[in-house]
Amino acid sequence: MKKILITGGAGFIGSHVVRLFVNKYPDYHIFNLDKLTYAGNLLNLTDIENKPNYTFIKGDIVDGDLMLSLFKTHQFDGVIHLAAESHVDRSIENPMEFVMTNVVGTVNLLNAAKAVWKDNLEGKRFYHVSTDEVYGALGHEGFFTEETAYDPHSPYSASKASSDHFVRAYHDTYGLPTIISNCSNNYGPNQFPEKLIPLFLNNIRNNKPLPVYGKGENVRDWLYVIDHAAAIDVIYHKGPDGETYNIGGHNEWKNIDLIKVMIKAMDKKLGREPGSSEKLITYVTDRAGHDLRYAIDSSKLQNELGWKPSLQFEEGIEKTIDWYFNNEDWLDSTTSGDYQKYYDKMYGNR
Ligand code: NAD
Ligand code: DAU
């Protein structure tokens, strides 16, 4: 039985990857290692938590001794590393937490894999899940390819870029069998309501202001989270060692246009006058260092490994809104407690 360590499996994307692997590969044992920060939530995994091929381990990747002892005890064959501090706005407030988890935590995992795998690299794989933000910002034209030079602008993207460099360095220096993917913005069920889509869905639901940064003209390339998980599956199993793959949906939206699509769909579901929630749109001070546009060229992944997105955006956003409507308890529990303190700090009493 193959043993695979998935880090950050209680978070947004990680929980979808854990679910996919536990259900699709009954002959793998999946170990989900997660610190359960504010972003980690075991409620994301109640449907698979009792499966015989699944084990949850609460732990912090910043603890290097713990990582080494887990590798020694469980003799993992593979790692899919998603654990990270992932929110740009939080990185602007507290960069050091991002350095610790995203950089030091990643190097701890690399060191543990290197130490335990050194005598037999056969069948081993260290998969690092990264972001398109490492490439910086695009103007109105062009796409990020795997050849685009790194140019991170936020503490978050700088920490992810640094972790990518360490992963490549361990491949080139020690021969560790690594692989990296850089994905565009994800959306879908279970995303913590600090990120644009779930934050605004929740605020529309509660008739609260929608804090649009700057003029709302920044562009993001949105991918449904299940399609990201499917890409990770394909890359983990078929991608050659040392490679990098960009993952994206060819689905670019200006923030303000995306927000209006959400408002239209939400007003319909809430029985409000169509478009009436547009009155909640509130333009606020722009995010510092705000990247204008991200857009991914995923042709390498599509041509070499045969992945492509399964969903059109209109269907994905409907499914997402339905999920949040059907899981109001999840939304209410994630927005109680410390969430309110975070909200007040970021957005004042708007
Ligand atoms: P998330 O914030 O929802 O989840 C992160 C998970 O990591 C949480 O469960 C948290 O508890 C855990 N974690 C944080 N610090 C930890 C630590 N020190 N030790 C162990 N566990 C820890 O993040 P997400 O949006 O699911 O992103 C997952 C990964 O995918 C990240 O590496 C992120 O950089 C990358 N990514 C995200 C997106 C996106 O749009 N969300 C896009 C591309 C890449
Ligand atoms: O591109 C991949 C990245 O996408 C991931 O690596 C990150 O983990 C993920 O958080 C996401 O980063 P963004 O900064 O693009 O996502 P966010 O949802 O925070 O913001 C999306 C856009 O919406 C961005 O242009 C900022 C804007 N925004 C965001 C918030 C939270 C607002 O206008 N108002 C807001 O309140």
Report the pLDDT value the prediction gives residue 65, as an integer from 0 to 100. 98
**Each residue's pLDDT tens digit, 84-138:** 999 999 999 999 999 999 999 999 999 999 999 998 999 999 999 999 999 999 9
- The span from the CA of 334 to the CA of 14, in Å, is 17
Distance 195 CA to ligand 2 centre (A): 6
Tokens 């390819």, residue located: 145
Average pLDDT rounded to a whole number, residues 312-335: 94
Residue 148 domain-assigned (yes or no): yes
What is the rounded distance in angstroms from the CA atom of residue 337 to the CA atom of residue 33? 24
pLDDT (0 to 100) of residue 348: 83
Q: Which residues pair with 33 in a beta bridge?
A: 7, 57
**Number of structural domains the chain divides into:** 1
Question: How many CB atoms within 10 Å of residue 349?
Answer: 6
Q: What residues form DSSP beta bridges with 222? A: 185
Q: Does the pTM exceed 0.85?
A: yes
Does the annotation mark 25 as catalytic? no
Which atom of ligand 1 is nearest the CA belonging to 186?
Answer: 40
On the question of pLDDT at 350 being above 60, the answer is no
* 345 in a structural domain: no
Assign 233 a pLDDT band (cuts: 50, 70, 90): very high
Report yes or no on 346 lying in a domain: no
CB of 187 sitting under 6 A from ligand 1: no
Q: Minimal CA–CA distance to 259: which of 277, 233, 273?
A: 277
Query: At what angle are helices 196-205 and 313-326 packed, to 10 degrees?
Result: 50
Which residue segment(s) compose the domain that 67 sits in?
A: 2-189+223-250+289-312
Q: Which ligand is nearest to the CA of 97?
A: 1
Average pLDDT over residues 239-250: 97
Catalytic residue flag (residue 217): no
Tell me if 294 CB under 6 Å of ligand 2. Answer: yes
132 included as an active-site residue: yes
Residue 337 confidence (pLDDT):
82
Is the pLDDT reported for residue 194 higher than 80? Answer: yes
Structure-token pair, residue 84:
């990270």
Model confidence over 161-186: pLDDT tens digits?
Answer: 999 999 999 999 999 999 999 999 99
The answer to whether position 235 is within a domain reads yes
Q: Does 279 have pLDDT greater than 80?
A: yes
Read off the pLDDT band of 349 (50, 70, 90): low
Q: What is the mean pLDDT of the chain?
A: 97
Comparing CA positions, the residue from 349, 348, 345, 350 lying closest to residue 89 is 345
**Which domain CATH number covers 300?**
3.40.50.720
Specify the residue with its C-alpha closest to ligand 1, atom 19. Answer: 60
Confirm whether 88 is domain-assigned: yes
The bound ligand whose nearest atom lies closest to the alpha carbon of 220 is 2
Q: Is residue 11 part of a domain?
A: yes
Is 341 inside any structural domain?
A: no
211 lines ligand 2 (CB under 6 A): yes
pLDDT value of residue 231: 98
Q: What is the mean pLDDT of residues 298-315?
A: 96
The answer to whether residue 48 is domain-embedded is yes
Residue 35 has pLDDT above 90, yes or no: yes
How remote is the CA of residue 223 from the centroid of ligand 2, in Å?
A: 13
